[in-house]
Structure 1
Amino acid sequence: MKHLKTALLASAMMLPMAAPAVFAKTPDNVLVVAQNIDDIVAIDPAQAYEFTSGELVTNLYDRLVQYDAEDTTVLAPGLASEWSTDEAAKTITFTLRDGATFASGNPVTAEDVVYSFSRVVKLNLTPAFILTQLGWNADNIAEMVKADGNTVTVTYAGDFSPAFVLNVLAARPASIVDSVLVRENEVDGDMGNAWLNANAAGSGPFTLKRYTAGQMVRMEANPTYFNGAPEVDSVIIRHVAESATQQLLLEQGDVDLARNMTPDQIASLSSDEIKVETFPQAAVHFLSFNQKTDSLTNPAVWEAARYLVDYKGMTETIIKGQMDVHQAFWPKGFPGSYDETPFSYDPEKAKSILTEAGIDSPITVSLDVINAAPFTDMAQSLQASFADAGINFEILPGTGSQVITKYRERSHEAMLLYWGPDFMDPHSNAKAFAYNSDNSDDSYAATTTWRNAWAVPAEMNEKTMAALSEGDAETRLQMYRELQQEVQASSPIVIMFQAAYQVAMDKGVTGYVNGATSDFVFYRLVDKD
């Protein structure tokens, strides 16, 4: 990347000094995006669990039901044109859309749906829990999901409302893959996992032309997409880790969108050729303490930490326009959110809490952080404010994939990270922040609680599961509000902010949709004037 930036600067210096700025131009009908994509670990829908990989899966694959670019708040028909529910029998029967095909040309069949769901369950990779919570496992999946002609009947086990099940089936791992193509590329019984981490086999609005990890993604329009071909012929996502380089590329016209610019850079944009759009996000940002680290297990440390975050200072400077103060696990603006923010920066109170608990200071803690804006700036702010109470952070920067891998291994001490819902139901985040029924090292769970080795109290586990099965809608939402209040008051996870995402783009770009989660990033409607 340093060579790219140097070359760009050298080219700029070759222009006559008195000449006006000359903008380059990206190819017609090709959208070029500058984005930090180093968080990607996998792009197979059965394994993809990172923010950027979620964006790719959404644009390459379809689900039976899905939230779409037209209106990201509405659960709409996808590969299923209609469905019927039988709550007593705990079944939902889907009728497949006529004429839908995969990018390969193969028709989408009920057998593809059965294969796709079975594949996720049998591979049992990171996001599999989203589907297995319906009571599915490798032994019973053939009985739980059945094909009959152009219909698929899904059976679930558990006290779930059909609305909850539909939200699960609209989630990333429920994406439908081309079973014929995947089977052709299976190696040593991996069900095509290695191949699908470099290729795609979907029916979505785009096909994957090229993916080079840590470098670029090129998607091409799928002309046979059931909802109509995309407006642009292709989307190129260039890995640009440095936000300053993203700004330079955008200002010179070498990219159409810059996805990771800092607030200062956004504020500094002055060209009439560039506009900025802001998109509210569902991701919450938090600081967490691994309970395998003895010095971090006292609840007084958790409580003091809540008064050592300079919430106001950060939202008015380094993350201005990109995050708002939010201190509960379900995002504001969604049904069931708890929006009280009782904590503010008060180092004297924090010191008092630590002293009363008999905690000796200083405490030295390593803090893992993604080596990109705004995370490194946030880490430095935390380092300064926590030092006021004798908690000294040693910042350990790494790529997104390095940091996330370490988090999943529970080998960190403190972690600065973010979390987005796996599907749009409050249980998605409640299970991540308020549930951990087995804290053993060999019982991996894709939750913040397990990854921080927090053995959640049995009563809180019970409340989380009770909320999941509650039939009355408003009572259920109130139960989630109470859970958020409990986690907010006492847990080793300090929730600080809710994201607000700013994207700078060429003024001629229209139709870009960046919904509340990474699964709601759509390029299908993008057009370039």
Structure 2
Amino acid sequence: MKMTFGNSIRLLSTSAAMALMLASAPNVFAATPKDTVVEAWAFDDIITLDPGEAFEISAAEVTGNTYDNLVKLNIKNTSEVVPGIAESWTVSEDGLTYTFKIKSGIKFASGNPITASDVAYSIERAVKLNKNPAFILQQFGLTGDNVADNAKAVDASTFQLKVDKPYATSFVLNCLTATVGAVVDKKLVESHAAAVTPSADYKYDTDFGNAWLKTHYAGSGAFKLRDWRANEIIVLERNDNYYGEKAKVARVIYRFMKESSGQRLALEAGDVDVARNVSPNDITAMSTSKTIKLDSAPKGTVYYLGLNQKNPNLAKPEVREALKYLVNYDAIGGTLIKGIGTIHQSFLPKGILGAVDDNPYKLDVAKAKELLAKAGLKDGFTVTMDVRSIEPITSLAQSMQQTFAQAGIKLELIPGDGKQVLTKYRARNHDIYIGDWGSDYWDPNSNAETFTSNPDNSDTPKSKTLAWRNAWDAPELTKETAAALLERDTDKRKAMYVDLQKKVLAEGPFVVIYQKTEVAGYRNNLQGFKLGPTFDSNFMNTVSKD
């Protein structure tokens, strides 16, 4: 079996080929190869694996294992960042210039040396592509017109970043740990750049390799991407050029399996080594197994409803508040997310500076009816909800369909895979969206920026935050969010984020339900398997197999 990688075609080993064939045939199973870790995982949200465009939770895990950044989150102490490709950095006294020294002698998987020019190119292409995650870098004042001057290589080992305002240093560094900050191999990517015709929306004559990099690889992480087939398989292979701790296994294969019960059965039979999307019932079943271990980690991910303010009924503040009283939080916490999450109603996850752990709402049908009557909707109304066909989202949606009905609201569920649902949501074509949001970097601005800020509510803005996706025009909160970003006094900054959360709880078009706890079951012959605090820090290079 031949697989393409870069410009070359290589033969996979016999064990990998067998694993690939098994992974492609969902009804066929066999023991996993000794040099390979096979994970059962639902990754139907992946749209692209170009780090300049990828903005999905599953994609972030893949890029987290295959690319590297200037700096990385310290997974043992998430309040700080540690060196990645950069060995050190300094910040000017005025807080506007960041200078990074690149480690010497390090290489991409291709064998090309990693230089400051690659770093500058990676930042420039992400800003100019202007895909969904570009706003993370554009927050520094970077634009297509000025990025080449403000993110540049001073020499082969020195990268300099100039920002437009004296932001909190932790904010800038944490942004650079995001997937969009991944460093790509300039020489390799440019060799696959395609010519495009400039337009009013895109003025460049190149795609910066975007079309190619959606399904190919140009990184320097512990693994290199060998294959991705949507809703089927992802194959990672050890990168022997990696400067850090080399992967202990030759490859990692993610097999697409959506159902928790199927994942558990495959794990119990030894057909996979890890089960990633396990339900509370299957967690209970696996906890009694002698051959399976469990690992869990709280994540910076919240599950929520997004209420599109283009819908005239959902735009009424009384309706927004009523829906917050039509969620059975106690039942959800006690059954649907037992072991995999905790009820949490604020947009900042616990563990991030300023996070509020107040949960003021509970199921109160009478209160909801009273609010609907004030909105002129005493007989209720009909509304749709776009639902990714995966647990626990499906069960959460069904639960709310029942509780909404108690107040006269007919909730019509529209199922779809991750790509379908996200594409519709990003175009603001939904009524209600149910899904999750993971912090893009470990700073309160990450979630505050997207839940509370919407500088341009037109259909063609520069920044497409969650507030924008739900057409929520909130100019005062947008100003407050910007002010919090520039507050250098930690206690004052914390208080500002507390205030923002309370206002969104009371007024916002978001019904935040719970914070995710990720749980994985794995065979007891795996060593070093550990889920990280973020969705891009589930690192596999530390895993070995007896």
- TM-score normalised by length of structure 2: 0.91
Cα deviation, residue 222, structure 1 = 1.2
CA distance in 2, matches of 1:5, 1:335: 43
Describe how 1:269-308 pairs up with structure 2 within 5 A. Answer: 269=286, 270-308=288-326
Q: Which of 88, 91, 94 does residue 85 from structure 1 map onto?
A: 91
Cα deviation, residue 146, structure 1 = 2.0
CA distance in 2, matches of 1:117, 1:91: 15
Cα deviation, residue 37, structure 1 = 0.9
Alignment match, 1:388: 406
Identity across the alignment (%): 42
- Spell out, residue by residue over 1:12-41, the C-alpha distance to the aligned partner (whole angstroms, 9 max, x if none): xxxxxxxxxxxx531112110000111001
CA distance in 2, matches of 1:448, 1:28: 44
Letter in 2 for 1:506: R
Q: Any unmatched runs of 5+ in structure 2?
A: 1-21, 196-205
Q: What RMSD in Å do the two structures reach over aligned CA positions?
A: 1.7
CA distance in 1, matches of 2:535, 2:401: 29
Alignment match, 2:357: 339
Contact 1:327/1:497, CA 8 A, preserved across alignment:
yes
Secondary structure of 1:519 counterpart: coil
Alignment match, 2:173: 166
Alignment match, 2:282: 265
Secondary structure of 1:518 counterpart: coil
Cα deviation, residue 358, structure 1 = 2.8
Cα deviation, residue 3, structure 1 = 10
Letter in 2 for 1:182: V
Q: 1:229 to 1:261 in 2, by over 3 A?
A: same
CA distance in 2, matches of 1:163, 1:501: 26
Cα deviation, residue 148, structure 1 = 2.2
- Would you identify which runs of 4 or more consecutive aligned residues in structure 1 move more than 4 Å? 1-8, 68-73
CA distance in 1, matches of 2:543, 2:392: 27
Describe how 1:76-225 pairs up with structure 2 within 5 A. Answer: 76-88=82-94, 90-149=96-155, 150-188=157-195, 189-225=206-242
Secondary structure of 1:415 counterpart: strand
Contact 1:205/1:222, CA 8 A, preserved across alignment:
yes
Contact 1:72/1:520, CA 8 A, preserved across alignment:
no
Q: 1:41 to 1:240 in 2, by over 3 A?
A: same
Letter in 2 for 1:462: K
Secondary structure of 2:313 counterpart: helix
Cα deviation, residue 241, structure 1 = 1.8
1:67 is the counterpart of 2:99 = no
Q: 1:71 to 1:233 in 2, by over 3 A?
A: farther
Alignment match, 2:486: 469
Letter in 2 for 1:393: L
Q: 1:2 to 1:414 in 2, by over 3 A?
A: farther
Q: 1:512 to 1:70 in 2, by over 3 A?
A: farther
Cα deviation, residue 184, structure 1 = 1.1
CA distance in 2, matches of 1:174, 1:91: 17
Cα deviation, residue 134, structure 1 = 0.4
Q: Any unmatched runs of 5+ in structure 1?
A: 9-23
Alignment match, 2:531: 514
CA distance in 2, matches of 1:421, 1:484: 15
Cα deviation, residue 357, structure 1 = 3.5
Alignment match, 2:48: 42
Q: 1:28 to 1:481 in 2, by over 3 A?
A: same
Cα deviation, residue 89, structure 1 = 5.6
Task: Indicate the larger mover: 244-253 or 201-210.
Answer: 244-253
Task: Indicate the larger mover: 47-56 or 189-198.
Answer: 189-198
Task: Indicate the larger mover: 219-228 or 120-129.
Answer: 219-228
Cα deviation, residue 69, structure 1 = 5.7
Q: 1:185 to 1:70 in 2, by over 3 A?
A: farther
CA distance in 1, matches of 2:187, 2:46: 26
Q: Which of 317, 341, 347 does residue 323 from structure 1 map onto?
A: 341
CA distance in 2, matches of 1:461, 1:501: 31
Paired residues, number: 513
Alignment match, 1:374: 392
Letter in 1 for 2:481: T
Contact 2:260/2:279, CA 8 A, preserved across alignment:
yes
Contact 2:123/2:181, CA 8 A, preserved across alignment:
yes
CA distance in 1, matches of 2:527, 2:180: 29
Q: 1:504 to 1:75 in 2, by over 3 A?
A: same
Secondary structure of 2:336 counterpart: coil
Contact 1:80/1:97, CA 8 A, preserved across alignment:
yes
Secondary structure of 2:352 counterpart: coil
Letter in 1 for 2:358: E
Q: 1:297 to 1:528 in 2, by over 3 A?
A: same
Letter in 2 for 1:99: G
Alignment match, 1:16: none
Letter in 2 for 1:324: T
Alignment match, 1:445: 463
Alignment match, 2:257: 240
CA distance in 1, matches of 2:309, 2:347: 19
- Spell out, residue by residue over 1:305-335, the C-alpha distance to the aligned partner (whole angstroms, 9 max, x if none): 1111001101111211111110111001222
Cα deviation, residue 346, structure 1 = 1.1
CA distance in 1, matches of 2:105, 2:23: 48
Secondary structure of 1:380 counterpart: helix
Secondary structure of 1:114 counterpart: helix
Letter in 2 for 1:389: A
Q: 1:69 to 1:421 in 2, by over 3 A?
A: closer
- Spell out, residue by residue over 1:327-375, the C-alpha distance to the aligned partner (whole angstroms, 9 max, x if none): 1110012221011111111111111222233323221111111101111
- TM-score normalised by length of structure 1: 0.94
Task: Indicate the larger mover: 33-42 or 73-82.
Answer: 73-82
CA distance in 1, matches of 2:148, 2:27: 56
Contact 1:410/1:452, CA 8 A, preserved across alignment:
yes
- Spell out, residue by residue over 1:230-282, the C-alpha distance to the aligned partner (whole angstroms, 9 max, x if none): 11111001111222221221111110111112111221224211111111111
Contact 2:95/2:165, CA 8 A, preserved across alignment:
no
Contact 1:103/1:202, CA 8 A, preserved across alignment:
yes
1:525 is the counterpart of 2:535 = no
CA distance in 2, matches of 1:323, 1:391: 27
Contact 1:69/1:522, CA 8 A, preserved across alignment:
no
Contact 2:23/2:255, CA 8 A, preserved across alignment:
no
Contact 1:281/1:516, CA 8 A, preserved across alignment:
yes
Q: 1:3 to 1:65 in 2, by over 3 A?
A: closer
Cα deviation, residue 225, structure 1 = 1.3
Letter in 2 for 1:252: A
Task: Indicate the larger mover: 444-453 or 425-434.
Answer: 444-453
Describe how 1:411-422 pairs up with structure 2 within 5 A. Answer: 411-422=429-440
Cα deviation, residue 74, structure 1 = 3.8
Secondary structure of 1:328 counterpart: coil
Q: Which of 25, 31, 45 does residue 37 from structure 2 map onto?
A: 31
- Spell out, residue by residue over 1:172-199, the C-alpha distance to the aligned partner (whole angstroms, 9 max, x if none): 1111001011111112221111111111
Cα deviation, residue 522, structure 1 = 0.9
